[in-house]
Amino acid sequence: MGGVLEILGFAFMQRALAAGLLVALMSGLLGTFVVQRRLSFLGDGLAHSAFGGMGIGALAVVTFGVVEAGGGWLRHPLWVALPFALLTALGIAYVRDRTDLSSDTAIGVFFAVAVALGVLAFSRIPPDVNLGFNVMDLLFGSILAVRTTELTAIVVAAVVVVVTLGFVWGRLAYATFDDELARTDGVRARRLEYLLFVLAAVVVAVSAVVVGIVLMAAYLVIPAAAARLWSRSLAGTSARAVVIGMATTLVGVVASFYLDAPTGSAIILTQAAVFVAAIVLRRR
Amino acid sequence: MRGLAPSAAGAPPAVATAAGGVPASPRPPALHVHDVSVRFGDALVLDDVRFDLEPGHFLAIVGPNGAGKSTLVKVALGLITPQRGHAAIFGHDAGDAPERIGYVPQLKTFDRTFPATAVELVVSGIRRNWPVRIVKAERARAMAALVDVGAETLADRPLARLSGGELQRAFLARALVREPDLVLLDEPATGVDFLAEHDLYDLLERYQARRGATVAMVTHDLSAARFHASRVLVLNRRLHGYGLPEDVLCDECLHEAFGHVGHRHAVAF
C-alpha cells in the first residue's frame, strides 16, 4: 500500500491517473449507449479517423513551417484530429441516417479512408523532422507522458460530456430503447443520435492522444459491455461502466509501473479480465 | 368503397359520420385523415386515404400485408409526414398532442436486449422519457396501471424474460398509464396466444368504457374486427371500406381489398 501511495506522489503519475479516470468516466457514460445501440465499431472508426486527422495536422504544421517557428501548442495533433473526428462522426451518422447501409458498413468506409489519409500524410513528412510526438505513441498511447495541454483538453471534454448527458440522458435512453416510441412522445431521436456521435468523436479524439488509437475503442466498449452483463437497468449499466473503467484504470496504471509494462495494454488487459469475470458471474 | 361516406374536406365531422348512426357531435374527430398519400421511393403505400373517426369508437384497421396499415398509424402519430394530405388527432396536427395518445407498437420491433424492467417501461409512459431512478409516486402510479392489466407480478422482471403475452400487457400498461383519449395499437395480437388476445380486447373494452376513450387497432384478425370493433376500415393502399363491421366485412369489400374473401368461418355474421 505504501508503495502505491509512493508512486501516486509523482506528478506525472497524478496527471496520468487524472487523465485515465476522466477518460474512464466519459467512456463509461457514452459506452453504455454505444454498446446498447450496437455501435461498438464506432469507437474504432472514430479513433482511426483521429489518426487521419493527426497525420493531416502533422503534415500541415510541417508544410506551413510551424515546426521551425516553434509552434507551441499549435503543433499538437489534437487540433486537427478533433475536427476531423467530428466530421467523420457526422459523415457516419449522415450515411446511416440517409441510406440503407448498416452502421458497420458506413463506419468501415470512413475508417479505411481516414487511415489511408493518415498514412499518406505521415509518409510525406521527412523522417528527420521532430514533430514533438511519436507516431507509435499515437497508435498505442503514452498515458504516463500526458501533458498539461492534453489533460486540459480531457477535463474540458469531460465537463462537456457530463453536462450534455445530464441534460439529454432520459431522452437518449428512451430513443435507445425504441426510436419510434420515443418519437411518438416528441423526442427528437435523430438529433440525439447525431449528438451521440459528436460526443463520441470528442471523447475519442481527446482520449486517443493519451490512450492510443488502437486501445481507445476498447476503453469505450469493454467496461460498458462488462457492466451490461451485471445490470438490469440502463442507468445501472452506466454507473457500473464508469466504476469498472475507473477501477481498471487505477489497477492498470499501478500494475504497469510495477511490471514495467505498457500502460495502455495493462489497462485494457485489466478491463478484459473484468469482462471475463462478468461473463462467468453474470446475472441470469 | 363500402360503408360510411368519408368526410368531405373541411366538412364538420358530425355531418360526415352521422349516416353510421353515431350521434352528431361538435367535438373534433378523434382521428381525422384527409386525402393522405404516402410514397416510399417508387412505391405508393397510401393513396388518397380519407376518413374521420368519431370519439368513443373502437376502430379495427384491416387489410392484407403491405396494405399500408402501419404506415397509416405512423401518419396519425406524426412519425411519417405524408406527401399529400394531413392527419389530425382531436383537432391537433399529427404529432402535436402526444399526451392524448397511448401507443402500443408492434412487439416484433422491440429490442429484447435492452436492460429494463416492466415498471421502468410503464414509468417511461408517464415521463415521456426514460427514468434514471423511479420516485415513489411514479412507482405507485405505474403499479396501478400494471394492476389494471393484470401484470402487477411482472413489475420488477426484466423485459427480456417476459413472454409475448406478458410483454404485451406491459406495453399496454405503458400506453394506458397516462389515461390517453386515443389508444393506437399496431398488430397487438401478434405473437400472443388466444387467451392473451382475448384478455387484450377485454382490457381495451373496459378501458374504453371507463374513460370514454377511442381505440384504433391494426389487426389481421377479421374475427376480432367483427366482434370487438364498432368501426372497421378496410385498407389496401386505398380505402376499400369504412363503416360498421357488418357493412364493411362483406365478401365484395374483402375480395376487393384482399383478392379473396378469407376464411368464411372467421368473418361470418
A180–B105 CB contact, under 8 Å = yes
Mutate to test the interface with A, among B128, B133, B157, B182 (most CBs of A within 10 A): B128
Please report the residues numbered 237 through 266 in chain A whose beta carbons come closer than 8 angstroms to any beta carbon of chain B.
237
Phi, psi (degrees; rounded to nearest 5) at B67: -80, -15
Query: pLDDT band at residue A71, thresholds of 50, 70 and 90?
Result: low
Report percent pLDDT > 90 for chain B: 61
Confirm or reject contact between B65 and chain A (CB < 8 A).
Answer: no
Task: Determine the 3-state secondary structure of B7 from DSSP.
Answer: coil
Average of per-residue pLDDT across A223-236: 94
Among B79, B130, B132, select the one facing A183 at the smallest CB separation. B79
Cα–Cα separations (whole angstroms), residue A163 to A157, A158, A266: 10, 8, 30
Its pTM stands at 0.87
Q: How far apart are alpha carbons A58 and A61 in whole angstroms?
A: 5
**Of A136-150, A159-173, A263-277, which gets the smallest average pLDDT?**
A136-150
Residue B19 burial (CB < 10 Å; 0-12/13-18/19+)? exposed
Whether residue B260 has pLDDT greater than 80: no
Whether residue A178 has pLDDT greater than 80: yes
Confirm or reject contact between B40 and chain A (CB < 8 A).
Answer: no
Whether residue B62 has pLDDT greater than 90: yes
Whether residue B226 has pLDDT greater than 80: yes
Instruction: Give the closest residue to A76 by CA, choosing from A86, A66, A87, A65.
Output: A66
B130–A180 CB contact, under 8 Å = no
Whether residue B11 has pLDDT greater than 50: no
Among B109, B117, B131, select the one facing A170 at the smallest CB separation. B131
| A145: CB partners within 8 A, 6+ apart | A12, A137
Query: pLDDT band at residue B20, thresholds of 50, 70 and 90?
Result: very low
Mutate to test the interface with B, among A40, A181, A190 (most CBs of B within 10 A): A181
Q: Which residues pair with B3 in a beta bridge?
A: B242
Whether residue B205 has pLDDT greater than 80: yes
Phi, psi (degrees; rounded to nearest 5) at A38: 55, 45
Phi, psi (degrees; rounded to nearest 5) at B93: -55, 145
**Of A163-172, B131-140, B164-173, which gets the smallest average pLDDT?**
B164-173
pLDDT attached to residue B269: 47
Whether residue A221 has pLDDT greater than 90: yes
Q: Which residue has the higher pLDDT, B197 or B79?
A: B79
Residue B205 CA, distance from chain mean position: 13
| A214: CB partners within 8 A, 6+ apart | A47, A139, A140
Structure confidence by residue, pLDDT tens digits, B106-123: 876 778 889 999 999 999
B52 Ramachandran zone, left/alpha/beta (phi>0; psi -120 to 50): beta
**Which residues on chain B are in Cβ contact (under 8 Å) with A168?**
none
Among A170, A185, A234, select the one facing B98 at the smallest CB separation. A185
Q: How many CB pairs under 8 A join A and B?
A: 74
pLDDT attached to residue A75: 63
| B216: CB partners within 8 A, 6+ apart | B30, B31, B53, B59, B61, B73, B76, B182, B183, B184, B185
Q: What distance in Å separates residue A281's CA from the closest CA in chain B?
A: 17
**Which residues on chain A are in Cβ contact (under 8 Å) with B158?**
232
B115–A236 CB contact, under 8 Å = yes
Tell me the ipTM for this assembly. Answer: 0.84
A169–B132 CB contact, under 8 Å = yes
**Residue A4 cell numbers, joined:** 502505491
B124–A177 CB contact, under 8 Å = yes
Among A36, A171, A186, select the one facing B114 at the smallest CB separation. A36
pLDDT attached to residue B220: 87
Whether residue A132 has pLDDT greater than 80: no
Query: pLDDT band at residue A185, thresholds of 50, 70 and 90?
Result: very high
Phi, psi (degrees; rounded to nearest 5) at A127: -65, -20
**Residue A244 cell numbers, joined:** 469498472
Q: CB atoms < 10 A from the CB of A243, how many?
A: 15
Listing from the earlier edge strand, what are the strands of the sheet with B101-104? B2-3, B238-243, B231-236, B58-62, B214-218, B182-186, B101-104
Query: pLDDT band at residue A128, thresholds of 50, 70 and 90?
Result: confident
End-to-end CA distance of chain B: 20
Structure confidence by residue, pLDDT tens digits, A9-35: 888 889 999 999 999 999 999 999 999
Task: Return the C-alpha torsion angle A164, A169, A173, A179, nearest 10.
Answer: -60
Whether residue B262 has pLDDT greater than 60: no
Per domain, the residue ranges of chain B are 22-110+181-267
Residue A167 burial (CB < 10 Å; 0-12/13-18/19+)? exposed
Q: What is the mean pLDDT of chain B?
A: 85
Per domain, the residue ranges of chain A are 18-280
Mutate to test the interface with B, among A168, A169, A192, A232 (most CBs of B within 10 A): A232
Superfamily holding B22-110+181-267: P-loop containing nucleotide triphosphate hydrolases (3.40.50.300)
Residue A272 burial (CB < 10 Å; 0-12/13-18/19+)? middle
Q: What is the mean pLDDT of chain A?
A: 88
Report percent pLDDT > 70 for chain B: 85
- The architecture CATH gives domain A18-280: Orthogonal Bundle (1.10)
